[in-house]
Amino acid sequence: MSGPGASGLLLGAVAYDPKVVTIWDGFRAWLREQGLEFDYVLYSNYERQAVDLVAGRVDLAWNSPLAWVRARRMALAAGVSLVPVTMRDTDCDLRSLVLVRQDSPVADLAGLRGRVVATGAVDSPQATLLPMLALRDAGLAPGTDVAVRRFDVGVGLHGDHVGGERDAARALIAGTADAACMIDSNLLLFAREGILPPGSTRVVGQTALYDHCTMTAGPSATPALVEELRGLLLGMSYGDPRLRPLLDMEGLKQWRPPRLSGYAQLERAVDAAGFYDASGGISASEYRP
C-alpha cells in the first residue's frame, strides 16, 4: 500500500466527473505493472486537495491551474517546496474568449460598459477569473462598470464542470446577458451541442495565452519516485490500445514536461479578484467550495 512518505506515491485527484475513477484506476493498474507502487485518492474539491498536498497528506496532486496558484502560495508561506511533474499537451497555450451576439452593437471589451456579462462559476479560471482580468485590463471594473451574471455550477471544481460556462452561453443566446465568457475549446463544443449556432456570436475579447492543469509533487513525495513517475507518464504512447481510451478520457495525446511560465496571468487575476491571499488563504467572500 503506497502512501505519503512510504515506498510508493499517493496522488490526489478531484472527482469532477465519474470518469475520473475509470481514468485513475486504469493509470494505477498500468503504473503498478511498470513496477511503480502507486495509488490515488479522490477529492470533492480542489481546495482540500491543495491543503493536503502542502501538508504532505498526499504525495502528488493533479492540480487545476487555480489549485496550483493556491498550493504555490501556501507552500511558500509554509516554507516547503513543490515540484512540477508533468502536464497534458492540451494544457498548454489556452485562451478564454468573451462573446457577444452577432447583432450586438458591442465591438470590443470597452464596449461592454454598463452591460451584463455572463461567466462560469466563481472559481472557474477560464470562464470567470481570467476573463474578468481581461475586462479590468480594458478599464472595466466587474460589478461596477459591468454587471456580472455568474453561473455557479460545480463550485469547488475550479471550472472543470462545464455546466457554468454552458449556462453562460445559453444566457447570451437567450438575451439575458450581453456577453458570455468561455474557454476557446468550448466555443466549438457549444456549437456542436447546438447552444451556439454557427454565425450567432462574435468574439469581442480574448485573454492572453495561459496554461491549464499541472501535476505537482509535494513535500512528502520521494524525489526518485517522482522522477520514475514522470518518466513513465512521459513514456505513455497514444499508440498503446490499452492506454489510448484512458488518454482520450483524460483529454490528452501525450504528457509533456511541465512549465510554470503559463500561470502569471492567473496569479494576477487571483490578486485582482481577491480570490486567495498571498499565503493561499481563501479570501473570496462568495466562495463556498
Partner 1 sequence: MPASIDLEGLGLDAGGHLLVLRGLAALGAGDQLTVTGRHPALAVQLAAWCRAQGHHVAGSTGPDAPGPLLVTKGRAEEQRWLGAVRAGDPGGRPERRADPRWGLAARGALVEAGGPPIGAEWADREHVWADVAPRLYAAATAAHWDPATAVDWSAATDLPAEVERAVVQVMTYLVENEQAALVIPARLLAQVHPHFREVIQLLAAQAADEARHVEVFTRRGLLSGGPLGTSSAGGRASLQTLLAEPDFTTAGFLLSVLGEGTFLELLRFLHARAPDPVTADVARLALRDEARHVAFGVAHTAHAVRADRAYLGVLRSAVERRHATLLDTAGLNAEVFDALVLLAAGSWSPEAIGRGWAAVRQLQADMDSGRRRRLAYIGFPDDEAAELSALHTRNFM
Beta carbon of residue 8, minimum distance to partner 1 (angstroms, whole number): 28
Q: How are beta strands 116-119 and 147-150 bridged, if at all?
A: parallel
Binding map of partner 1 across residues 27-66, x = CB under 8 A, - = no contact? ----------------------------------------
Nearest to 127 by CA among 156, 104, 105, 152: 152
In this chain, which of 242, 277, 278, 281 binds partner 1, going by CB under 8 A?
242
> What are the strands, taking DSSP E only, across the chain?
9-14, 38-43, 60-63, 83-88, 96-101, 116-119, 147-150, 179-183, 201-206, 214-217, 255-256
Instruction: Note whether 256 binds partner 1 by CB under 8 A.
Output: no
Query: Which CB atom, from 242 or from 288, has the smaller least distance to partner 1?
Result: 242
Nearest to 97 by CA among 196, 218, 186: 186
Angle 21-62-81 (CA atoms, 0-180°, nearest 5)? 150
Instruction: Note whether 259 binds partner 1 by CB under 8 A.
Output: no
Beta carbon of residue 184, minimum distance to partner 1 (angstroms, whole number): 4
Nearest to 220 by CA among 1, 4, 2: 4
Beta carbon of residue 195, minimum distance to partner 1 (angstroms, whole number): 11
Q: How are beta strands 214-217 and 60-63 bridged, if at all?
A: antiparallel
Q: Which stretch binds partner 1 (CB under 8 A): 44-52, 70-78, 232-240, 277-285?
A: 232-240
Instruction: Note whether 196 binds partner 1 by CB under 8 A.
Output: yes
CA dihedral (120, 153, 22, 1) in degrees, to 10, reads 100
Query: Which CB atom, from 104 or from 185, has the smaller least distance to partner 1?
Result: 185
Beta carbon of residue 209, minimum distance to partner 1 (angstroms, whole number): 8
Tell me how far CA of residue 266 lies from CA of 66, 71, 225, 274, 280, in angstroms. 7, 13, 30, 12, 13
Instruction: Note whether 238 binds partner 1 by CB under 8 A.
Output: yes
Instruction: Note whether 199 binds partner 1 by CB under 8 A.
Output: yes
In this chain, which of 141, 237, 257, 281 binds partner 1, going by CB under 8 A?
237
Q: Which residues of 236-256 are buried (b: 16+ CB within 10 A; e: fewer)?
A: beeeeeebeebbeebebeebb
Q: Are 287 and 122 in contact (CB under 8 A)?
A: yes
In this chain, which of 69, 94, 153, 213 binds partner 1, going by CB under 8 A?
94
In this chain, which of 53, 66, 97, 226 binds partner 1, going by CB under 8 A?
97
In this chain, which of 206, 282, 283, 287 binds partner 1, going by CB under 8 A?
206
- Which spans of this chain sit near partner 1 (rule: CB under 8 A)? 89-90, 92-95, 97, 183-185, 187-188, 191-192, 196, 198-199, 202-203, 205-206, 237-239, 241-242, 244-245, 251, 253-254
